[in-house]
Each structure stands twice: as C-alpha cells, then as structure tokens.
Amino acid sequence: MARIGFHRIGSEFANQKIETIRELLQRGETVYIAGLACSGMHNTGVALIEVTQNAGPRIIVNNEEERFSGNKHTTEYPRASIDAMLETLRHMGRDAGDIAAFVTTWDYPVLLATMVRTVLEEAPASLKLLTMPIAPAIDRRRMDQMRRTPKILARQLGLPERVPLICMPHHDNHAWFSFAASPFTNDNEPIAIAVIDGTGDQGSISLYVAKGGAMRRLYCNDSMFDSLGIFYSVISSTQGGWTWLSSEGRYMGAAAWGDMNRASNPYYGRLEEVLSFGADGEIRLNRAMANWYCDPHDNPYHATLIEILGEPIKPDQLWNPDAILHVEDINHRPDTKDRLDKAAAAQMVLEDAMIHVVDHLLRATGANRLVLTGGVALNAISNMRLLEHFDEAWFAEAQQRKTRLHLWVPPTPGDPGVTIGAAWLLAHLAGAPRGTPITNAFYCGLPPTQEDIATALEPTGIASKNIGNISTADGCEAIADLMAFMVAQGAVIALYQGSAETGPRALGHRSILANPCDPKARELLNERVKYREAIRPLAPMATLEAAQEYFHLLKGASDADYNAYNYMVITAQSKPQAQTKIPAVIHADGTGRIQIVRAEDDPLTYAYLKALGRRIGVEISVNTSFNVAGPIAQTPSQAIDTLRRSKGLDVVLLVADEGTVYAAWLGSTHNNS
C-alpha cells in the first residue's frame, strides 16, 4: 500500500512528515493538516485544521460529501467537499500547497487484515461477507475506489504526482478528537474515553484513559461483530423496516412508545441473551442466536432469535427514507404495540451493554469524567441513562468517594467527526498542544454570498424579499423578532445561515423552527413538513435559563456551563410544567433531546429565542433539521428545493455572508404579507 500512496503511522514516511511538521511549529509557523474520509467507506468528506505551537489545532472546515451531493451517507470520492475546502483556503489567502499533510480516517492495512481474519475465523459461513457492502476493504469495486484516491486527489489539486496519505487508526481518531475538544480541561485527574462503534479498523469497542495531556489505549475487543453498533443496526433495520444508517435514530424514537419497563416488556428478558456480558466489561455476540456475523443482510437471525422477534424484514422490503426524492412515494409502515415493544427491548439491551462497558472502564481508571464517542454515542437516550446510573451511590461503592459521573459527547461522535480527529491526532503527534474545547458544530462549507442566494431564487414559482440585515445589533434583533412573530402566529419557518453544522443534528444554522406550545406542531411537522413517521419526536432548542426551567439538567452534564447539552446528543427528563407548556418538544417518555443555544456561538438564533420568550412566554423553540428525505440542505439551491418539496413549510430565511436576510416562499400558495 505504501507503493500506491498509503503510509501507516510508524512508517519512515510518516515519521519524516511528523518531524517536518514539528520543526515548522517550533519555528512559529502555521501548519494546515487535512483529514480525508476516502472513497469506499460511508460518510466521505474532508476536514481542515490550522495548527500553531501556541494555540494548537483549530477547525477550519469539516465538509461532508453528502451535503454537497445530496446522497446521504455517500461512499463516493469527496470531490465537492475538497473543492469547497480549496475555496475556503483561497478565501484565507492560501492554496493546496499550504497543506502540510493529508491523513485518512482509517488504517487501511489493519482494516484489510481484520476483514480477512474475520472471514477466516467464521468460515465457511462467513464467505458471503466478501460480496457485501459491510466489507469495503475486500469488496473489489470499493477497494478500487479507495486505492485510487492518491492519484485522483493529485489530479484535483493540480499536482504532478500522487498525494501521499498517512493512515490514522480509526478509533484513535475518534478518541483523541473527542477528548481534546471536550470541556474537561483539568489534566491532573484521569479522563476515561470509550469508543463504542459499528466497527473500527481493528475492533468495535476501544477504551482509553487520558491524563496529563496524553492518551493511552487500555483495550480493544479485536472484533468486528461483537459490536453494539451492529447489534442495534441489525435489530432496528430488520424489525423497524428501514435500511442501515437510516434505522437507528428512528428505532430509538420508537422505543419511547413501547414498554420501557424491564420487568414487564415481553421481549426484553429473552432478547438480552443475544449479548453475553463477560468479565472486564467484555461484550460478546451470542452466535447461537445471531447470524449477522456471517450473513447480516439476507439471514441475520438463527431460529432461536426468530422465536423471540419473528422473521426479520427482508432486504427487498426495507425502506431507505434518506434516498426518497419524491415525497409522495413515502409509505410508512403501521405502528403496532408489538413492534414498539420490540424497539423498547432493543433499546434497553443496548443501555445495559453500555452500562456494563462503562462500569468496567470507570473502575479500571478511577475516573469520574467520561468522553463517549463512536457511532453508538448518537443514542441520546442511552447517554442520559449513563448519567442517571453512575450517580453518587455508585461512586461511593465503586470508588469510595463522593462524586458522580461527568459525561461529554462531541457533536460529531460518528464518522463525520473522524476526519477532524485524524488531522487533530497527527498535530498532537507532532508536538502541538491539545487545543481549545469546542462549543459549536458550524464548520461545513462557507456561508452563502448574496450572489449564491440570488441564483437560487431565480426559478419561477418562488417569491422572495430582502427583509433586513443582521450585521448590526439592531438589525439582528429586528430579524429575530420577526421570526418570533411568525412562529408565534403558527408559521413553520426554516433558518439557513452561515456554515452548516457538521454531524447529523441541525443546531440553528440549517433548522426548521416552530411553536413548542402548539400541541399539533409535532403532527404537522411529521406529516406535512418532514413526511416522516408519527412516532418521531421534535427537539427543543432553548436558552440555558429556559432549559433549566423546563428540564432536569443533570449535574453530570454541567461542565463548562452545561456544554454537554449544546448538541442534541443527550436527552433530559422534562419537569411537570413542560408537558402542558411546551408539548410539541416533549417525547412520549417525557424527555427532550435538548440543545442549549449561546449568544456567543449563534447570535441570531439566541436573539430569536429571547424574542420568542417575549412573544409566547418561553425561550424555547421546536428545532428539526432542514431536510426532507435526504441530507440537511447545504447550498441555497438545496434550501429552495427543500422548500418546494415540503408542502407545510411557510418560509425560508436565507442569510448572506455579509448579513443580508432574504425571505423566500412558494409564490403560488402564499401571499406577500
């Protein structure tokens, strides 16, 4: 692989590159490092970080290819993401030649070896894995996509020779970025780090400890299929009826409608046997029940699991809601109590397994601070359960001290964050300091220009108007008050501003907003705006004061002024008055996947929430992602296309890079008032 441009950490090339970067930093120069999610793996893209010896790494962009291509979870070469990164560099007075190194999000030689070992260990039944998309390092077409990346990248950058790539270990990337960007700044005490994933290049669960600014890996399960991520993906897909990567969040939402009582749920007691809980936090798949280690798509269950859950939904009956282009084609499966109880059982088994892993990690490290990352960390309910479980009583018994768990999850715990992690980790290896904690996720692409917006508004059938400018305090307040007025009157509006959020959660830059006090808002948005299942919840965005008034914010998420609640990655239990005051954002189980908005991170959205408080009496808004059956809208043209396809969306506000705000609506169905 070195001959075609892929170099592992520890190789002569990688060592020389790290030493060169170290020397540049020591001379006081600014260094740029790009993290590349190559072709062949889902969620391709590119991140760029700026590194100095004094400040450490700073994120410049984290571009997800799906946002530009419109193909959710794409595996294709991230050409548009790289073009957008180069445009950002040009805005900074730089170019591709200023990038000191390109690093990848996977250690491809190790990944290939793990794939081969997995197939051989489970042979002959596992030979079918060679033809499945779960094995991109073996699948010939996807392997070819990946191996040609150094040449394709060179052509795109205008360079004469292939671009050498340094392969960074997948779980190390998850772990280092999530730790380094966390609000846990006191390095005198240990910080536990858990990467719980679908799979990495070596295994699916990796545990670390950080202290004194250094990180050490304690454990990797060295298994692709003893995986909590794959367990949840298979069950949510084959019982929920959605494809992988579309099913997990939907199933988590469905679970709240089922029986979440371990004593009475009719499936939980038997389903928990599909995972074996061993010593030292080990999780193993019960291969007598589950067959997805050999055939995860066509025949994922053995007879004993079929007896519990029934026959799995077949691949040709699965629905990919993230690939539907015509909303009229969407056909939801009926909700039944039986199916919802199965979802609840799967959710509870996942929670048990995560508690088992974290219990061992906290005992082994003596830590009370935990950074949780990897794709499974997107399960916001499980994250809340960890905070509830590891309370003062647990620490009194396990560590003989008075404390409780403090938890932080990054806004991008899944693979869209590993591009940042790979670059950030290389900077660390070159001697850069840890860097500053992050407080927002607004790093995808550049803000739109007036010209970009004008071009998007040209098609007939779209009415638009320049309604102000947010570059001044008065202008920002005026637009925010107008937004609040519209929402208070029952309008559903979309806000498109600045760089987009990276990761799966809209956080105020690509958001659909509505009145949380309207008990019909959830039904309206699910049925007429988002065209999705009725069981799906809506999230609350709130000022800190409003969040504290209506939700139980746990002390274990209170670091850096409750930073852990900034990203919709941890749910919170609502207080009694919330159900009557803000019913649209309270889920069936009484929780809300909350986002706290800060004035310093998002002035317009914060001002909108304050204005909403004056209009409706609460500084909380419905917030759901600005998309319909596809990725979150990245460009102004995609925003207008989403407006066209979402029959219940009243207006889109588009904010240009210099502050001008345009309102756009469907002229044939809305009036100019």
At residue 325 the predicted structure's pLDDT band, cuts being 50, 70 and 90, is low
pLDDT at 296: 85
CA-CA-CA-CA torsion sign (251, 257, 261, 267): negative
pLDDT at 670 over 50: no
pLDDT at 127: 77
Task: Output 329 or 622, whichever has higher pLDDT.
Answer: 622
Q: At what angle do helices 337-365 and 248-255 cross, to 10 degrees?
A: 100
**SS3 string of 300-323?**
CECHHHHHHHCCCCCHHHCECHHH
Q: What is the mean pLDDT of residues 66-94?
A: 94
pLDDT at 140 over 80: no
pLDDT at 518: 96
How confident is the prediction for the chain on average, in pLDDT?
93
pLDDT at 183 over 70: yes
Cα–Cα–Cα angle for 641, 644, 648, rounded to 5 degrees: 130
Using a 10 angstrom Cβ sphere, with 0-12 exposed, 13-18 middle and 19 or more buried, the burial of residue 155 is exposed
* Tokens read off for 135: 């094995």
Q: What is the mean pLDDT of residues 227-245?
A: 94
pLDDT at 62: 97
Number of other CB atoms surrounding residue 171 within 10 Å: 28
For residue 416, give the DSSP letter.
Answer: G
At residue 89 the predicted structure's pLDDT band, cuts being 50, 70 and 90, is very high
Residues in the chain: 673
Contacts of 64 (CB under 8 A, 6+ apart): 43, 45, 81, 416, 444, 502, 631
pLDDT tens digits, 372-416:
999 999 999 999 999 999 999 999 999 999 999 999 999 999 999
pLDDT at 96 over 80: yes
At residue 136 the predicted structure's pLDDT band, cuts being 50, 70 and 90, is very low
What pTM was estimated for this model as a whole? 0.95
Q: Of 569, 600, 169, which is closest to residue 371 (Cα–Cα)?
A: 569
Task: Identify whether the C-beta of residue 46 lies closer than 8 Å to the C-beta of residue 78.
Answer: yes
pLDDT at 138 over 60: no
For residue 404, give the DSSP letter.
Answer: -
Task: Identify whether the C-beta of residue 81 lies closer than 8 Å to the C-beta of residue 65.
Answer: yes
At residue 668 the predicted structure's pLDDT band, cuts being 50, 70 and 90, is low
Give the C-alpha separation, 584 to 646, whole Å: 19
Cα–Cα–Cα angle for 587, 593, 598, rounded to 5 degrees: 135
pLDDT at 508 over 60: yes
| Percentage of the chain exceeding pLDDT 70 | 96
* Tokens read off for 478: 């005026």
Q: What is the mean pLDDT of residues 522-545?
A: 92
pLDDT at 629: 81
pLDDT at 320 over 60: yes
Give the C-alpha separation, 61 to 32, whole Å: 11
Give the C-alpha separation, 556 to 594, whole Å: 15
Amino acid at the residue 48: L
Q: What is the mean pLDDT of residues 229-248?
A: 93
pLDDT at 671: 42
pLDDT at 133: 53
At residue 589 the predicted structure's pLDDT band, cuts being 50, 70 and 90, is very high
Half-sphere exposure of residue 598: CA atoms within 13 angstroms, side-chain side = 14
pLDDT at 166: 98
Is the bond leading into 537 cis (omega within 30 degrees of zero)? no
Number of other CB atoms surrounding residue 314 within 10 Å: 12
pLDDT at 135 over 60: no
Task: Output 376 or 133, whichever has higher pLDDT.
Answer: 376
At residue 613 the predicted structure's pLDDT band, cuts being 50, 70 and 90, is very high
pLDDT at 129: 76
Give the C-alpha separation, 579 to 331, whole Å: 30
DSSP, residue by residue, 162-224: PPPEEEPPHHHHHHHHHHHTSS---TTS-EEEEEE-S--SS-SEEEEEEETTEEEEEEE---S
